[in-house]
Amino acid sequence: MEKFTRITGVAAPLMRRNIDTDAIIPGKEMTKVEKTGYGDGLFGQWRYIDGNRKENPDFILNRTPYRNAVILLADANFGCGSSREAAVWALTGFGIRCVIAPSFAAIFYNNSFKNSLLPVILQDNQVHELAKQVENSGGKGSVTVDLEKCKVIGPEKQIYSFKVNDIYREMLLQGLDPIDATLRYESKIAAFQKKDRINRPWIYQY
């Protein structure tokens, strides 16, 4: 997995609540058994007019400088709805490395870390403040997200701290494969099952 340490760049404010994964990557974009190639489909129904690839000039990611965004700012409950991991692959495929929001739906949040996309939770007023400052600068004021220091630096140099679990942080900083990381605990998994087969044999009856 690609490492994530620190990024600086354009942040695009898409300040809507409850942005669902159907909106992030429409089902009709998911036509292949692959984890790549979803960037063009990102926000497909909002980004393009009439289902073809003609850009909707009003949509933020079709405007300069936001079409080069590496950070997305959104309102609460980002990534709700379907568990489709293609929502994460579409964001990373487009070039987004970090989403900053007051809250995330759990499945999307978990999926992000497995794909080197950093979900950052800031307070509601902080996200809105960041969005306002980005807008005031016409999008030119860049935002930095530093995972080593767990800090976001806004366009006007104000600093916001965020928290992320050590296990996920290490995974991103070192670019660890989550499955390989867990396979190191195989002896513990085996020990659990050995005991559990006695306590709850019906679970293993097949």
Partner 1 sequence: MKKPATLVDKIWDSHVIMDLGQNTYLIHVDRNFQHELAGATSLNGIDKAGRKIRNVELAFAVMDHVLDTHPGRGDETPIPGGTGFIREFRQRATSHGIRLFDLDDPDQGISHVISPELGIALPGCTYVCGDSHTCTVGGVGALAFGIGSTDVEHVFATQTIIQTKPKNMRVTFNGKLGREVFAKDIILYLIAHIGAAGGIEHAAEFAGPVIRNLPIDGRLTICNMAVEFSARTGIVAPDDMTLEYLNGRRFAPKGEMWEKAVAYWRTLPSDQGAYFDKEVDIDCNNVRPQVTWGTSPEHSVAVDGRVPDPAQAPDSHSRMTMERAITYIGLEPGTPMEKVKIDAVFIGSCTNARLSDLREAARILKGRKVVPGMRAVCSPGSYQTKLKAESEGIDRIFREAGFEWRESGCSMCMSGGAGGEGFSPGQHVLSTTNRNFEDRQGRGVRSHLASPVTVAASAITGHITDPRKMGA
Contact footprint for partner 1 (CB under 8 A): 16-18, 20, 22-23, 26-28, 30-35, 45, 51, 75-77, 80-85, 88, 103, 105-107, 110-111, 114-115, 165-167, 178-179, 182-183, 185-186, 188-189, 192-193, 196, 200-206
Minimum gap (Å) between residue 48 Cβ and partner 1: 11
Tokens matching residue 74: 């959104």
Q: What is the β-pairing status of strands 71-74 and 11-14?
A: parallel
> Measured from the CB atom, is 82 or 144 closer to partner 1?
82
CA distance 11 to 142: 7
Q: Give the residues across from 104 on adjacent strands.
A: 78
Minimum gap (Å) between residue 200 Cβ and partner 1: 7
> Measured from the CB atom, is 19 or 152 closer to partner 1?
19
| Inter-residue contact 19 to 79 (CB < 8 Å) | yes
Minimum gap (Å) between residue 102 Cβ and partner 1: 9
> Measured from the CB atom, is 5 or 193 closer to partner 1?
193
Q: Which residue has the tokens 């930095």?
A: 144
Minimum gap (Å) between residue 55 Cβ and partner 1: 16
Q: Determine the Cα angle at 123 with ends 98 and 92, to 5°.
A: 10
Q: Give the residues across from 118 on adjacent strands.
A: 98
The amino acid that residue 78 corresponds to is: F
> Measured from the CB atom, is 10 or 119 closer to partner 1?
119
